[in-house]
Amino acid sequence: MRDGKVEGSIKNLNEQFMLLIQLFWTFFRIGPSTFGGGYAMLPIIEREVVHKKKWMQEDEIGELISLAGSAPGGVGVNAAAMIGHRQAGIMGAVSAVIGVTCPTFLIVILISVFAILFRNQPKVEAALNGMNGGIIALISMAAYRTARYSILDTTTAIAAIVTVAVLLFAGIHPLYLIISGLICGMAVIRIKNRLGLQVKMEKKSGTGSYPELEYYI
Amino acid sequence: MYWDLFMMFIRVGLVSFGGGYAVIPIIQHEVTEKGWLTSAEFQQTVALAGMAPGSIATNAATLIGYRTAGYIGAAVSTAGMILPSLVVIVILSALFYRIHDNSWVKSSLYGLRPVTTGLIIYAAIHFGYPTEDTGLSWVWIATLLISGVCLFLLLKYKLHPLLILTVAGAAGIILF
């Protein structure tokens, strides 16, 4: 693994600056190319970063993606940050993230300006109501796909069901559920190991190098 | 106001494991509790967020920021949403090989992922609930009908999300 920071100090400032611009521009172009974000970006990131720019090896990117998927935040933004950091340290991470965010930010602003302009048109209202149905379908699909790699055994199934029940009936802040999920995970694994039970902690995806999530996350 | 938005999305961004749809209930909880948006307004915002490329969570942050405090609101919300990821990633990639196969990390993810799934399931159920606007009416039934058809199209024909939203929007114009 190359160290971006050490390399950066050897390079002269001009080269360093050009690298930052390159990182920004590469991710600026990747940003808007995918709808639904995240995992749809990954093949494009791989093509750009591994094959065109040769910033990384092909086997490195799989590990990078699994880590990007586990950290908080969208996987696209996380992958950009990691690649940027590898190439040019913290400044590299910042410019890659700004690059990947800028185009969508501008598009969203444009959409909201139009939405506010046409808000009281009955047809627009009707279309938005219809899209609500579409969103329900997209979210259900995301739930189904996430469940396939997160529900590994009875314990995880119960955890998911309890989460839904608590959210529906108790109205507590979801943050507490996330924290208890983290703690319970560690506790359950320790207890099961103590009892000598085998626990499968990850599902290996059979097809390709990406988890089968595609563009729903 | 800007500071409130920024701090709120910093909090949301910090716990946005699994990205996208899992964060929707968290944002909703925060936004409706503060009285910035009603439940129905929030659902419209998410529908719009789905239309733009990129992560639905970041897009929702931009939209909510814009609705509550204009352009600067949009900018600070988006920055707030992204900043925690950036910081965590920089720390993680500095520790990359040490942390990757750590059993504590793996076991916490084992517990975290089903919770994330639960959050997404809840978001789907919540969006299917009748809101104060629709009630148990024709609009509500039609919405569920549209979502059923869309789900079928997604599963059977693997249509692109944008296409799904376009179909759903067109169906809305016809039905409502």
Q: How far is CA A43 from CA A33, A34, A62, A80, B105, in A?
A: 11, 11, 11, 13, 26
Lookup: tokens for A192: 């099961």
Cβ-based contacts of A127 with chain B (< 8 Å): 169-170, 172-173
How many whole angstroms from its chain centre is CA B28?
Answer: 9
Which residues, 6+ apart, have CB-to-CB distance to B9 below 8 Å? B61, B65, B76, B77, B78, B79, B80, B81
Of the residues B121, B143, B145, B149, the best mutation for testing chain A's interface (the one with the most A CB atoms within 10 Å of its CB) is B121
pLDDT at B98: 63
Sole residue written with tokens 């626990």: A199
Residue in A134, A157, A186 nearest the CB of B165: A134
The 8-class DSSP code of residue A214 comes to G
What is the rounded CA–CA span in Å between residue A120 and residue A122? 6
pLDDT, one tens digit per residue, over A79-127 is 899 899 988 889 999 999 999 999 989 999 998 888 888 878 888 888 8
What is the rounded CA–CA span in Å between residue B68 and residue A64? 36
pLDDT surpassing 70 at residue B108: yes
Residue in A177, A201, A216 nearest the CB of B110: A201
B18: left (phi over 0), alpha (psi -120 to 50) or beta: left
pLDDT at A162: 94
| Banded pLDDT at A213 (limits 50, 70, 90) | very low
What is the rounded CA–CA span in Å between residue A78 and residue A80? 5
Cβ-based contacts of B64 with chain A (< 8 Å): none
Is the separation of the CB atoms in A39 and A79 below 8 Å?
Answer: no
Backbone angles phi, psi at A170, to 5 degrees: -100, -25
pLDDT at B33: 87
Cβ-based contacts of B9 with chain A (< 8 Å): none
**H or E element at residue B126:** helix B103-128
Q: In angstroms, what separates the C-alpha of A81 from chain B's closest C-alpha?
A: 6
Lookup: tokens for A214: 């595609």
pTM above the 0.90 mark?
no
Q: How far is CA A56 from CA A31, A50, A189, in A?
A: 19, 5, 34
Cβ-based contacts of A202 with chain B (< 8 Å): 106, 109-110
Q: How far is CA B101 from CA A133, A155, A186, A201, B82, in A?
A: 41, 22, 14, 12, 26
SS3 B89: helix
Regarding predicted confidence, which is higher, B25 or A203?
B25
Q: Do B128 and A129 touch (CB under 8 A)?
A: no
Rg (CA), chain A: 21
Lookup: tokens for A15: 């080269």
Sole residue written with tokens 């400044």: A91
ipTM greater than 0.85, yes or no?
Answer: no
pLDDT surpassing 70 at residue A35: no
Q: Do A178 and B112 touch (CB under 8 A)?
A: yes
pLDDT at B103: 76
pLDDT, one tens digit per residue, over B16-36 is 876 678 888 889 988 988 889
Counting every residue written for chain B, the total comes to 176
Q: Do A150 and B125 touch (CB under 8 A)?
A: no
Is the separation of the CB atoms in A99 and A26 below 8 Å?
Answer: yes
Q: Which range in A55-59, A199-203, B81-85, B133-137 is most confidently predicted, on average pLDDT?
A: B81-85
What is the rounded CA–CA span in Å between residue B166 and residue A137? 13
What is the rounded CA–CA span in Å between residue B23 and residue B11? 11
Closest by CA to A217, choosing from A25, A109, A78, is A78
What is the rounded CA–CA span in Å between residue A12 and residue B65? 40
The mean pLDDT of A65-80, rounded to a whole number, is 81
Which residues, 6+ apart, have CB-to-CB distance to A14 below 8 Å? none
Regarding predicted confidence, which is higher, B83 or B44?
B83
Is the separation of the CB atoms in A200 and B127 below 8 Å?
Answer: no
What is the rounded CA–CA span in Å between residue A170 and residue B29? 12
What is the rounded CA–CA span in Å between residue A75 and residue A216? 11
- Sequence-ordered alpha helix ranges (H) in chain B: 2-14, 24-33, 39-51, 56-94, 96-100, 103-128, 138-157, 161-175
pLDDT surpassing 60 at residue B37: yes
Is the separation of the CB atoms in A181 and A163 below 8 Å?
Answer: yes
Cβ-based contacts of A142 with chain B (< 8 Å): 20-21, 120
Lookup: tokens for A33: 């190319």
Sole residue written with tokens 């024709």: B138
